[in-house]
Copies of this chain bind each other. A is one copy, B any other.
Amino acid sequence: MINKLIEKIKATNAPIVVGLDPMLSYVPEHVQKKAFAEYGETLEGAAEAIWQFNKAIVDATYDLIPAVKPQVAMYEQFGVPGMAAYEKTVSYCQEKGLVVIGDIKRGDIGSTSEAYAVGHLGHVQVGSNSYAGFHEDFATVNPYLGSDGVKPFIKVCKEEKKGLFILVKTSNPSSGEFQDRLIDGRPLYEWVGEQVAAWGADHMGDSYSYIGAVVGATYPKMGKVLRSIMPKAYILVPGYGAQGGQGKDLVHFFNKDGLGAIVNSSRGIIAAYKQEKYASFGAENFADASRQAVIDMVTDISTALESV
């Protein structure tokens, strides 16, 4: 799947991923109204609203982008109907040829991580049948529990040709509280990065490993160090746009081959119509605003990469 992701990045010339993190407040009123008319102001109604919202944005952008990253929390907050909308979104994006990165940040002891891996990336056995519950192509994983919390995910990835992005240095303001603490003179995130590189070395696609890392755009200097620690890891870079990261902050996340990083924007794309810059589209044309925001993001990053 890492090979497919890289092919698609090359084909679209867009090292970006659209974060499908639909807060109900992002969904234009006419979309909400229609969903509530059908299902009422219920969890089912909310799930229908975010699904229709996602679908319109995917339809308007899928030819420009290699991948999407639905954040499962935004669906999980709507209970079981929300999880159904998540699965429906994953399926639809895959039908459109997009690589789907499930932003699930799971991680537990071995047998439990195995269940998560099976549910999100693999197949579960039920009698003589097997089923893929949420069937994302990649998943994000939390490393706090160490190797035996991560290895069951790696095993399933190997069997199913899927991939991981393991949290190394997250984009949020307080990520340093534990991640930046010095251990033998080096911050924890570097030790995690080394471990990601070690896991990845045994699990290679053609040119990059299918065990990647998450490093926030908001920490460009750390991104540069981590790039050199994990030369074969694809880096998923959140924090661009709404969280403060800009194109020029991103250049050090890439390798000299122009590859090695994929930059996520969520709010900045899916709620573009709410920004002054794209207000002229109007709420009715929210998906067209998202398309324009994708084009602008790709230009911003390409310009920054060319000026290196």
Q: How near does chain B come to A192, taking the closest CB pair, in angstroms?
A: 7
In the complex, the count of this chain's copies comes to: 2
Beta-carbon contacts under 8 Å, A186-232 to B: 188, 191-192, 195
A192 contact from B79, B178, B191, Cβ within 8 A:
B178
Q: Which residues of B contact A192 (CB under 8 A)?
A: 178
Q: Take A109-B170, A110-B172 as given contacts and tell me if A178 and B146 are in contact as well, using a CB distance cutoff of 8 Å.
A: yes
Which of A36-44, A58-66, A278-286, A292-300 has 4 or more CB atoms under 8 Å from chain B?
A36-44
Q: Which residues of B contact A11 (CB under 8 A)?
A: none
Count of chain A residues with Cβ under 8 Å from any Cβ of B?
74
Bound Cα distance A243, B111 (Å): 11
CB pairs A–B below 8 angstroms (27 shown): A24-B125, A41-B127, A46-B126, A71-B108, A71-B115, A73-B108, A73-B119, A74-B112, A76-B115, A76-B133, A77-B124, A77-B133, A78-B124, A79-B124, A80-B133, A82-B133, A109-B170, A110-B172, A143-B144, A144-B170, A144-B178, A145-B175, A146-B177, A148-B173, A149-B172, A177-B195, A182-B184
Given A105-B108, A149-B170, output 20 extra A-B contacts at Cβ < 8 Å.
A41-B128, A41-B129, A42-B129, A43-B126, A71-B112, A73-B115, A73-B119, A76-B133, A76-B134, A77-B115, A78-B133, A79-B131, A82-B133, A105-B142, A144-B167, A145-B167, A145-B170, A147-B177, A178-B188, A182-B183
